[in-house]
């Protein structure tokens, strides 16, 4: 994102109401390749195609903040590759990381990866190094250190069902697993900050947080996310969980999260009440059923309804409830942006 967009985002998080409403979208490999007319394999394997497609995004929609911006990633294989997962690639869909454990009892063998040398992580960094000057030439900066969260990574290494069972049957080993992954994430985001001093934000994605109960959230989520968000002094601590967001919302401010993207199944008012007034919300149009599948007229209608239902301009980045999914058209994104710009000033 540009420095101006970053300043606008920080001001909204501080509680300032911008002269024009802020619209932001999470975009990465589920959406960009199809929209740009390439395969996923082309997107992942060619730095030049990755760069050109991201340039096309920001030039097509110059008034939208794209989060995190020029995201160097390989889908869910990104962090799990550093732990030694087998990576399975597909031409037109997201890659898959096979699990390396079948039971929580096996996790004693887990080793904390080195983000400077292990898996796909050095390639992610080098891609940004190779293109940093050209990114800056387009007026943009690398502003976020990005990682999947500890429960998300653990679910790929162990399996979601096995992880949930382990929380109940073997808390000791479960904590050991999450502690190890947390330390890895801290090392990873600190390394990104080291390589790109322009970074001033931390962006974590962890949908598995939405699968646990309150006791498990307080035990396995709150203390570990708090450590990660304290990895360096970030101005923006951004958290994405578009599964059930109700369980974690009351703890966001205590964790240190000041920007939250959540499921469209929760209303903006509902999350505002749970998260409190200090957390900036990112949402909350249904991404698949409206933004992807609806007509531009439907997108406009639902966007206006969302804005009127929320009824506030404070600490809000207008977006969809999750990342931008496949098949979202240029026309629908423009309809969304136009509806936001026309309707929010009327509040």
Is residue 339 exposed (0-12), middle (13-18) or buried (19+ Cβ within 10 Å)? buried
Q: How far is residue 2's CA from residue 82's CA, in Å, rounded to a whole number?
A: 31
Task: Tell me if 254 sits within 8 A of 275, measured CB to CB.
Answer: no
Token pair 């001033």 in the structure block, residue: 200
Task: Tell me if 122 sits within 8 A of 116, measured CB to CB.
Answer: yes
pLDDT, residue 244, reads 83
Question: Which residues fall within 8 angstroms of residue 190, CB to CB, at 6 or more apart?
Answer: 145, 231, 232
Q: How far is residue 253's CA from residue 259's CA, in Å, rounded to a whole number?
A: 10
Task: Tell me if 251 sits within 8 A of 222, measured CB to CB.
Answer: yes
Task: Tell me if 81 sits within 8 A of 98, measured CB to CB.
Answer: no
For the chain, 347 residues long, the average pLDDT of each consecutive 10-residue run is 97 96 98 98 98 98 98 96 97 95 89 97 98 98 98 97 96 96 98 98 97 96 98 98 92 98 96 97 97 98 98 98 97 98 97
- Structural domains in the chain? 3-346 (3.20.20.210)
Rg (CA), the chain: 19
pLDDT, residue 109, reads 81
0.95 cut: is pTM over it?
Answer: yes
CA distances from 259 to 140, 164, 215, 254, 256 (A): 21, 27, 23, 13, 9
Q: How far is residue 222's CA from residue 254's CA, in Å, rounded to a whole number?
A: 8
* CA-based end-to-end distance of the chain: 27
Question: Which residues fall within 8 angstroms of residue 98, CB to CB, at 6 or more apart?
Answer: 85, 86, 87, 88
H or E element in which residue 320 lies: strand 316-320
Task: Tell me if 343 sits within 8 A of 302, measured CB to CB.
Answer: no
Nearest Cα neighbor of 71 from 257, 199, 232 is 199
Q: How far is residue 184's CA from residue 152's CA, in Å, rounded to a whole number?
A: 13
pLDDT, residue 183, reads 97
pLDDT, residue 31, reads 98
* Residue 193, both tokens: 């900050």
């Amino acid at each position: 994102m540009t420095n101006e967009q970053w300043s606008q985002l920080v001001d909204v998080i501080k509680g300032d109401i911008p002269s024009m409403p802020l619209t932001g979208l999470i975009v990465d490999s589920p959406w960009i390749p199809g929209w740009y007319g390439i395969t996923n394999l082309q997107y992942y394997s060619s730095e030049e195609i990755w760069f050109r497609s991201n340039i096309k995004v920001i030039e097509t929609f110059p008034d939208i903040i794209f989060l995190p911006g020029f995201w160097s990633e390989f889908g869910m294989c990104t962090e799990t590759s550093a732990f030694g997962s087998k990576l399975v690639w597909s031409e037109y869909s997201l890659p898959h990381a096979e699990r390396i454990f079948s039971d929580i009892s096996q996790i004693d063998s887990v080793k904390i990866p080195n983000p400077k040398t292990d898996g796909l992580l050095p390639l992610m960094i080098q891609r940004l190094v190779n293109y940093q000057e050209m990114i800056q030439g387009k007026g943009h900066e690398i502003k976020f250190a990005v990682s999947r969260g500890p429960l998300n990574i653990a679910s790929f290494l162990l399996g979601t069902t096995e992880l949930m069972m382990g929380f109940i049957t073997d808390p000791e080993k479960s904590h050991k697993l999450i502690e190890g992954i947390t330390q890895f994430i801290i090392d990873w985001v600190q390394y990104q900050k080291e390589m790109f001093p322009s970074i001033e934000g931390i962006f974590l994605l962890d949908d598995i947080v939405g699968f646990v109960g309150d006791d498990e959230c307080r035990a396995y989520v709150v203390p570990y996310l708090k450590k990660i968000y304290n990895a360096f002094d970030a101005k923006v601590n951004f958290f994405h969980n578009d599964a059930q967001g109700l369980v974690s919302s009351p703890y966001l401010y205590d964790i240190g999260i000041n920007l939250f993207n959540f499921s469209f199944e929760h209303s903006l008012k509902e999350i505002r009440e749970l998260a409190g007034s200090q957390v900036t919300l990112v949402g909350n149009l249904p991404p698949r059923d409206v933004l992807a599948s609806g007509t531009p007229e439907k997108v406009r209608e639902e966007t206006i309804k969302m804005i009127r239902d929320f009824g506030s301009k404070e600490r809000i980045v207008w977006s969809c409830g999750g990342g931008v999914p496949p098949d979202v058209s240029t026309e629908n994104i423009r309809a969304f942006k136009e509806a936001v710009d026309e309707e929010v000033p009327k509040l």
